[in-house]
Amino acid sequence: MSTSPRTVAAHFDDWAARYDAEIRTQVPRYDEIQDSVVSLLSLRPPHRLLDLGTGTGVTALRVLEALPSARVVGLDVSGEMLARARQRLRRHRNRVELRQSNIATPELDGLYDAITSVLAVHHLWADEKRHLFSHLWEHLSPGGILVVADAFRNASDRLLELYDYPRPEYPHEV
Ligand SMILES: C[S@@+](CC[C@H](N)C(=O)[O-])C[C@H]1O[C@@H](n2cnc3c(N)ncnc32)[C@H](O)[C@@H]1O
């Protein structure tokens, strides 16, 4: 999906109050995705982490709870999603900074040991993705890690085969 930031912000502003209750019905294995991100980060626990499209703060909370050394900067275009994140992360407010910002034209500062983005980059157009990724490298510390967990078109049939998880059988099928 690719949309203008204004449209995407309006969409997520509208969805924010229901997002946490509904996202797992729309994204199978949502919690496993979040677990995988934190596991990867645990290999080299970051001190300064940037989370792009931080939404209601699900990834940020897991990071803050699992990795006590981490401070998180979370960016999102939707004020309503950020309001939920602020609420979710209130116990860790000394270690979190949330900013309303469009990641298609990122205004980034400093260096980060880790940059994460979960289910957000697919909202950008291809040229915006290229622009974003070209900037991200400039903001990763030496040895830093970039973790993007999102939906991508398979680059080949072989990859499709490898990542085509067996679907659980529908319980009512005979
Ligand atoms: C499907 S939600 C994922 C939220 C969160 N990362 C999670 O794991 O639940 C996508 C998020 O990306 C944000 N987003 C989409 N396009 C964006 C953009 N251009 N700039 C900043 N945030 C954006 C949306 O506002 C929304 O909060």
- Pick 99 or 151 by higher pLDDT: 99
Q: Is 106 in the pocket of ligand 1 (CB under 6 A)?
A: no
Give pLDDT tens digits for 113-172. Answer: 999 999 999 999 999 999 999 999 999 999 999 999 998 777 788 777 776 655 545 444
Cβ-contact 82, 101 below 8 angstroms: no
Give the pLDDT score at 165.
56
Give the pLDDT score at 151.
81
62 CA to centre of own chain:
12
- The model's pTM is 0.90
pLDDT at 64 over 90: yes
Pocket test for ligand 1, best of 4, 6, 12 (most atoms within 8 A of CB): 12
Q: Is 59 in the pocket of ligand 1 (CB under 6 A)?
A: yes
Strand order in the sheet with 96-100: 96-100, 71-76, 48-52, 112-118, 140-149
Cα 123 to averaged position of ligand 1 atoms, centre (Å): 8
Give the pLDDT score at 152.
75
Domains of the chain: 8-162 (3.40.50.150)
Minimal-distance CA residue to ligand 1 atom 25:
78
Cα 120 to averaged position of ligand 1 atoms, centre (Å): 4
